Amino acid sequence: MDKYPVLYTFRRCPFAIRARLALCVNQKQCEVREIKLSNKPADMIERSSKGTVPVLILNDGNVLDESIDIMRWSFDQNYKINDELESWIIKIDTDFKYHLDRYKYPNRYQNTRSYNHRDACLDTLKKLEASWRTMGSNEELNFYDFAFLTLIRQFKMPEPGWFDALDLDFIKTRLELLINSNLFSLAMQKYPLWDSSKKIYLL
């Protein structure tokens, strides 16, 4: 049995990024296995047949293959639970992500007009902004920043100038705080593709 949990990850995946942020901020060392989505290692599929990253194999053999579960395990309940924001996690991961993919990659989907999907994402973010800003912007980067902002960062990517002009001050401030943090640089460091002959660690 390895001394540290094993994390299968893909650098640019927003779900993997949120898991790495949570692991890093909580100093949870683990062995990092950077994979290609087009060539998933058999060992990862054996542990989690759904074939998505991130996957964390714990030392007791338990497998966490949902990014939110990896985050919760990393924080080990040491974060201020906000019931309203908890209910946003599912909305961001399903509805928002659905429209985000169709806005970012309209050519991958049939009969999609990307601006309808951009509008749907924006509508969600306006509502999230209203709930989230009650938390106060002086808070240190926390669980909800990692949960929401890695996907919102993707929403900014196609048209950053348009995004910057939006009336979403709280979200934009939190995103800047995250992106400019040392923590984000740590979580985004580049790892070579996994090669079973050597071990690479997150921290």
Distances in Å between the alpha carbon of 96 and those of 87, 103, 147?
13, 10, 13
The enclosing H or E element of 14 equals helix 14-25
Q: Report if residue 67 touches ligand GSH, rule: CB under 6 A.
A: yes
Letters for 23-62 (x = contact with ligand GSH by CB under 6 A, - = none) are: --------------x-------------xxxx--------
Q: How far is CA 112 from CA 36, 107, 120, 138, 158, in A?
A: 27, 8, 12, 39, 16
Closer CB to ligand GSH, 69 or 129, in the complex:
69
Kindly state the smallest distance separating residue 19's Cβ from ligand GSH, in Å: 7
Angle at the Cα of 144 from the Cα atoms of 14 and 55, rounded to 5 degrees? 40
* Contact call for residue 96 and ligand GSH (CB under 6 A): no
CB of 56 to ligand GSH, least distance (A): 10
Nearest to 188 by CA among 3, 35, 9, 37: 9
**Residue range at the interface with ligand GSH (CB under 6 A); choices 65-73, 108-116, 163-171, 185-193:** 65-73
Binding site for ligand GSH (CB under 6 A): 10, 13, 15, 37, 51-54, 66-68, 93
